């Protein structure tokens, strides 16, 4: 299995630190609003990478954080007149609903930044003791130039950064030893949440979070660190500097980054009015369609989102699901149990589709070609399955389509639609649970309905529902 390593700018054979085990860290979202479809791409891509590694027999320890303290969260909290914690917890729940809709598996661990402050203070203290960090009036900075390998991930030169890198020149530049130094800890401002530290009551800089959470849950050296390509610099570059200076060992062996998502060939932005949340897309499409769309291009290629491409993805998903639905129908009516001689020959050909699938995924997770192998298999099934087919043959076809689709996180077997009466009964139970202040059960029911494609909307007139 070969992966393109941003660090070396080439495809490399994947060899884990420990045979049979993979330690993988993926940068998660900042939870101040509903996640957008740009956030969805790395979630889907690296969930698929994890699924494929598990398919190959690896035991994957998959860690993905929630950044639950940040300027945007604080601004939202102040705007609403609530605490930052209330905002972040609300949107973590909403994010988890969207992830479930996209069939993104929960991480082995989903750490929250605010629950790891002690570890951050400890790492910053170690960096100060080793001379890599310094305190100025309660703000702690990292000495970027002291780490001789700084820039090795982004392949940027420090002097070029100094001459043209406004992105590094943040507030308080005048008190830094060097304009390229970055913040590890900052004192609190009025109306902000804060934590005690030896330098000031304040909060951590953004970059230190992932270094600490990765170390705690995966160890000092990990196999794979992943995220969107916008994180390469400065976030991942700074993570490497902090981690390697603190721990004295390489941070991550393989760095994987997905390319940007454009909307109708333009960069997604609120000002252009082409900004979509996953929740908004879920109102028009089954989120499985979004997942298939995200996997229809190689993860390192820019991906263009449009209504036409989403319709094409919907049709593609239906092709897979209709093929499985047809096999189920034939299975219920099939009389013969055992394979015929001709069917034995056909079943022997099924492995070739799995080999094509694995070859594509082994080549830097080429999901576009892996999907093509599934569609070839679907065509094979549609051509050879019929009313005379044996149960063994139909089951073999179905099992292969379903299992390969599952590796990509695609649900090939369409769920039976719930009856209106069943939906109404669950909504009534949810209302009763809310009245009894049993909010856990109420959320459970909402999530159960959402997993079956039923979207609830609480309005002044009562609960309204619709099929996604």
Question: Residue 443 — very low, low, confident or very high, per pLDDT cuts 50/70/90?
Answer: confident
Distance, CA of 270 to CA of 309 (rounded, Å): 21
Residue 305's nearest CA partner among 261, 273, 269 is 261
Q: Quick one: 165 exposed, middle or buried, by C-beta within 10 A (0-12, 13-18, 19+)? A: middle
Angle between helix 307-333 and helix 287-295 axes, rounded to 10 deg: 110
The torsion angle over the Cα atoms of residues 273, 279, 283 and 285, rounded to 10 degrees, is 90
Question: How far apart are alpha carbons 173 and 314 in whole angstroms?
Answer: 50
Bond prior to 51 in cis (omega within 30° of 0): no
* Alpha-carbon gap, residue 451 to 100, rounded angstroms: 7
Question: 2: helix, coil or strand?
Answer: strand
- The answer, yes or no, to whether residue 251 has pLDDT greater than 70, is yes
Looking at residue 169, its pLDDT comes to: 43
DSSP string, 366-426: -HHHHHHHHHHHHHHHHHH--TT--HHHHHHHHHHHHHHHHHTT---SPPPPPPHHHHHHH
Residue 446's contacts (CB-CB under 8 Å, 6 or more residues apart) are 430, 456
The percentage of residues in the chain with a pLDDT greater than 90, rounded to a whole number, is 79
Single pTM value for the model: 0.87
What's the rounded Cα separation, in Å, for the pair 108 and 223?
A: 15
- Please state, in angstroms and rounded to a whole number, the distance separating the CA atoms of residues 447 and 207: 33
- Whether residue 444 is predicted with pLDDT greater than 90 in this model: the reply is no
Distances (CA, A) of 233 to 157, 241, 257, 374: 12, 12, 11, 36
Residue 416's pLDDT band (boundaries 50, 70, 90)? Answer: low
Residues composing the chain: 468
3-state SS class at 140: strand
Q: Is 24 helix (H, G, I), strand (E, B) or coil?
A: strand
Q: What is the pLDDT of residue 468?
A: 63
Strands 59-64 vs 133-136: parallel, antiparallel or unpaired: unpaired
pLDDT tens figures, 183-221: 999 999 988 999 999 999 999 998 999 999 999 999 999
Phi/psi of residue 139, each to 5°?
A: -100, 130
Pick the range with the lowest mean pLDDT from 153-167, 268-282, 292-306.
Answer: 153-167
CA atoms within 13 A on the CB side of 258: 29
User: What is the model's pLDDT at position 170?
Assistant: 46
pLDDT, position 162: 66
The set of residues, in sequence order, having a beta carbon less than 8 Å from that of 69 and lying 6+ positions away, is: 84, 88, 113, 114, 193, 203, 204
User: What pLDDT is attached to residue 168?
Assistant: 45
Q: Which residues sit opposite 59 in a β-bridge?
A: 21
CA-based nearest residue to 241, from 138, 170, 119, 156: 156
Mean pLDDT of 73-81: 94
Residue 273 has pLDDT above 60, yes or no: yes
For residue 213, give the nearest of 324, 363, 107 by alpha carbon. 107
Largest Cα separation within the chain, whole Å, is 82
Dihedral angle computed from the Cα positions of residues 17, 23, 29 and 30, in that order, rounded to the nearest 10 degrees: -80
Mean pLDDT (the chain) is 92
Distance from C-alpha of 140 to C-alpha of 134, rounded to nearest angstrom: 5
Supply 374's token pair.
């599934």
What per-residue confidence (pLDDT) applies to 165?
44
Has residue 120 got a pLDDT over 70?
Answer: yes
């Amino acid at each position: 299995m070969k992966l393109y390593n941003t660090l070396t700018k080439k495809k490399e054979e994947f060899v884990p630190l420990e045979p049979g085990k993979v330690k993988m860290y993926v940068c998660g979202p900042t939870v101040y609003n509903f996640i957008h479809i740009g956030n969805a791409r790395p979630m889907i891509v690296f969930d698929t990478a994890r699924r494929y590694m598990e398919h190959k027999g690896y035991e994957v320890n998959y860690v993905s954080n929630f950044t639950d303290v940040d300027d945007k969260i604080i601004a939202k909290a102040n705007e609403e007149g609530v605490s930052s914690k209330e905002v972040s917890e609300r949107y973590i729940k909403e994010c988890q609903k969207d992830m479930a809709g996209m069939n993104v598996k929960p991480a082995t661990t989903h750490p929250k930044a605010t629950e790891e402050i002690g570890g951050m203070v400890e790492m910053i203290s170690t960096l100060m003791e080793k001379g890599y960090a310094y305190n100025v009036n309660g703000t702690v900075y990292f000495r970027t130039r002291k780490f001789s390998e700084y820039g090795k991930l982004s392949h940027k030169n420090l002097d070029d950064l100094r001459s043209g890198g406004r992105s590094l020149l943040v507030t308080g530049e005048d008190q830094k030893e060097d304009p390229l130094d970055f913040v590890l800890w900052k004192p609190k401002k009025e109306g902000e949440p804060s934590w005690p530290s030896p330098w000031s009551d304040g909060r951590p800089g953004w970059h230190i979070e992932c270094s600490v959470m990765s170390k705690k849950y995966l160890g000092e050296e990990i196999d794979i660190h992943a995220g969107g390509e916008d994180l390469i610099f400065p976030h991942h570059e700074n993570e490497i500097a902090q981690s390697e200076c603190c721990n004295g060992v390489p941070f991550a062996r393989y760095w994987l980054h997905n390319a940007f998502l454009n909307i109708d060939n333009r960069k997604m932005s609120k000002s252009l009015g082409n900004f979509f949340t996953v929740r908004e897309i879920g109102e028009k499409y089954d989120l499985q369609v979004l997942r298939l769309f995200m996997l229809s291009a190689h993860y390192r290629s820019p991906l263009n989102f449009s209504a036409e491409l989403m319709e094409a993805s919907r049709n593609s998903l239906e092709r897979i699901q209709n093929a499985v639905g047809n096999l189920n129908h034939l299975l219920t009516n099939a009389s013969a149990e055992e394979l015929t001689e001709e069917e034995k020959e056909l079943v022997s050909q099924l492995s070739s589709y799995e080999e094509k699938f694995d070859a594509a995924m082994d080549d830097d997770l080429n999901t576009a070609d892996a999907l093509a192998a599934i569609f070839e298999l679907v065509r094979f099934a549609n051509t050879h399955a019929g009313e005379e087919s044996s149960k063994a043959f139909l089951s073999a076809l179905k099992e292969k389509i379903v299992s390969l689709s599952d590796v990509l996180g695609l649900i090939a077997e369409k769920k039976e639609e719930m009856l209106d009466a069943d939906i109404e009964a669950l909504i009534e139970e949810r209302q009763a649970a809310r009245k009894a202040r049993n909010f856990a059960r109420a959320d459970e029911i909402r999530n159960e309905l959402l997993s079956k494609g039923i979207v609830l909307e609480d309005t002044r007139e009562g609960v309204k529902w619709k099929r996604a």
